[in-house]
Structure 1
Amino acid sequence: MASVDMVESNEMVEDSVVSCIPGNSQFCVGLKRSIEELKVPLLERDVSVVAVHCIGGGGKTTLARALCNDPQIKGYFKNVIFINVSQSPDLKGILETMWVKILKRNKAKFQNIEDGHIQLQQQLLMQSEPTLMILDDVWSKEDLDELLFEGTRYKTLITSRDSSIIPKTFSTEVYQLPLLGEQDALSLLCFWSFGHTSIPSTIEVNLVKKVQEECGGLPLALKVIGSSLNGQTHVAWERAKNKISNGKIISSYHEEGILKCLKSSIDSLDDVAKECFLDLGLFPKGKKICVEALLQIWVNFRKMEWKDAVDILFKLAGRNLINLSSNQR
């Protein structure tokens, strides 16, 4: 049986809104298919890195935690290690923790990050025990480079909201975690609002479904808004639906949950990218934006080079702050 180690940072894991670890009393939905799909590359011999990519609050951490306790994963990997990296990680400390958890030895005293990486890599080339290292919530390519290793039967699962940090190699597989479908989203909202997975007779069905639709299948939004409406009246639900549809905050919990998660994604952008993101507010809500029109605004009004504007566009898309789609029907 595999040993499973969970190592958390002191920072809040924003994406971990519902834990799916067996024995946990909280509720989660929509993970079964994703777990089965993820196991395919993880159990493939030629794949060494698997990356799970999704918007903040989309359930990456929840999925990674659930994977830790999947019987097939625990049967294949003798060592499963979960480490929350976060936005401002102590890389030297993480490397020292990896040394202990992977090699089952006393804590090493590395001189610096480079020394830790070199020593751990040397040991892993001689390590043959099947090991799955889960690096959760990685923000920076530079951080990731220090935490990735090669080794016999050693694999790494990464979760990140930024697709640009993921290695572009033949041994890397990328999994785009989908948001919840309509039925799963409704079940999750009902769980946090009413304590069970269906709409009670005291609340109008269409009203609850309207609130669920405004959450867009995002687990964090469903959990935060559902919790805010727990025990509330029909009037409160109507008021919340109107506020959400107009982009307003319905409670302090709503602001601290969803908006903090979104803010962290935006704060990590450089100043130019932030200003370009704010330009999206010039367009009508809920309508598709013509890419060429957006690029023309950045080129003509922000005096950007066309290439730089395109780079910004893909940077925002890579962080799931915008969705690029085709005009084809």
Structure 2
Amino acid sequence: MSTVSNTSHFNAIQQEVAEMLGFSLKDLESKTLRAERLRNAISNKKVIVLLDDVWDEFDLNVFGFPLTKSDVVEYCCKIMYTSRNKDLWLGKRTITKKEIGLDLLSCEETFNLFKRKVDLQYDDIDFHWKNEKARKIVEECGRLPLALGVVGGALIEKDKHVWENMFYQLRNQGRDQHKKKDKQGLGNKLSLFK
């Protein structure tokens, strides 16, 4: 599984997949050669590639992920990806796409996940203050488990000023693509190319 995100580092993604298949692409700089080597490795195996947090569509075949069988490629790989954009790879005739909608965590599930992540204990001297700040931080994280995990991990055993700074940063950050798309009514999607 590779995380794609909004700043796609395709060399790193290709390398992660290659390592899972038992080889390396570190010695290759050429985009074409990297894709060819990856495609050749996949050509005699049944492979499912998991791509997490895909923001934008890209040509999977160009990066070495064969989606159709050919004279050269005996097997094509399946791609499973998560995205908040349900319009990725629409209208591609060579792709069969199945969407599985995923709901966001409930407010209570989100809050409990965050409290577990930061190990918020009732006997903490700042419990009541942190508990209230945690609710605000959870709201700013948009009920997204990955964001909650990252932010929560950064706040484990930290003082109040660190929590306050984290909340300030979250509240004042520029609105990213994900938040804009959510406001347009797009939810989390898990998609599978067959």
- TM-score by length of structure 1 reads 0.37
1:195 aligned partner:
120
Long gaps (5+) in structure 2: 68-73, 187-194
Correspondence 1:132-281 to 2 at 5 A: 132-142=48-58, 144=60, 146-147=62-63, 148-150=65-67, 152=75, 154-168=77-91, 171-191=96-116, 195=120, 203=128, 214=139, 217-219=143-145, 220=147, 224=151, 227=155, 251-257=164-170, 260=173, 263-265=175-177
Aligned length: 169
Kindly indicate whether the alpha-carbon contact (under 8 Å) linking 1:97 and 1:107 is maintained by their aligned counterparts in 2: no
Output one character per residue of 1:292-313: Cα deviation in whole Å (capped at 9) or x when no partner: xxxxxxxxxxxxxxxxxxxxxx
The CA deviation at 1:217 is 3.6
Output one character per residue of 1:190-225: Cα deviation in whole Å (capped at 9) or x when no partner: 33566259xxxx859xx7997599566444369848
- What root-mean-square deviation, in Å, do the aligned CA atoms of Structure 1 and Structure 2 show? 4.6
2:42 aligned partner:
124
- How many angstroms apart in 2 are the aligned matches of 1:214 and 1:195? 17
- TM-score by length of structure 2 reads 0.56
1:322 aligned partner:
184
Kindly indicate whether the alpha-carbon contact (under 8 Å) linking 2:114 and 2:134 is maintained by their aligned counterparts in 1: no
1:112 aligned partner:
30
- How many angstroms apart in 2 are the aligned matches of 1:95 and 1:209? 37
Q: Structure 2 counterpart of 1:322, which letter?
A: Q
Alpha carbons of structure 1 residues 224 and 175: separation in structure 2 relative to 1, 3 Å: same
Kindly indicate whether the alpha-carbon contact (under 8 Å) linking 1:138 and 1:144 is maintained by their aligned counterparts in 2: no
1:26 aligned partner:
none
Q: Structure 2 counterpart of 1:254, which letter?
A: F
Q: State which of 83, 97, 100 in structure 1 corresponds to 2:2.
A: 83
Larger RCO of the pair (alpha carbons < 8 Å, separation 6+): 2
Alpha carbons of structure 1 residues 152 and 256: separation in structure 2 relative to 1, 3 Å: farther
Compare CA radii of gyration and give the structure with the larger one: 1
Long gaps (5+) in structure 1: 1-81, 233-249, 267-276, 278-315, 325-329
Alpha carbons of structure 1 residues 142 and 259: separation in structure 2 relative to 1, 3 Å: farther
Output one character per residue of 1:22-70: Cα deviation in whole Å (capped at 9) or x when no partner: xxxxxxxxxxxxxxxxxxxxxxxxxxxxxxxxxxxxxxxxxxxxxxxxx
Alpha carbons of structure 1 residues 257 and 221: separation in structure 2 relative to 1, 3 Å: farther
- How many angstroms apart in 2 are the aligned matches of 1:208 and 1:111? 47
Q: State which of 1, 20, 33 in structure 2 corresponds to 1:101.
A: 20
1:236 aligned partner:
none
The CA deviation at 1:179 is 1.1
SS at match of 2:81: strand
- How many angstroms apart in 2 are the aligned matches of 1:138 and 1:193? 27
Output one character per residue of 1:271-311: Cα deviation in whole Å (capped at 9) or x when no partner: xxxxxx9xxxxxxxxxxxxxxxxxxxxxxxxxxxxxxxxxx
The CA deviation at 1:143 is 5.6
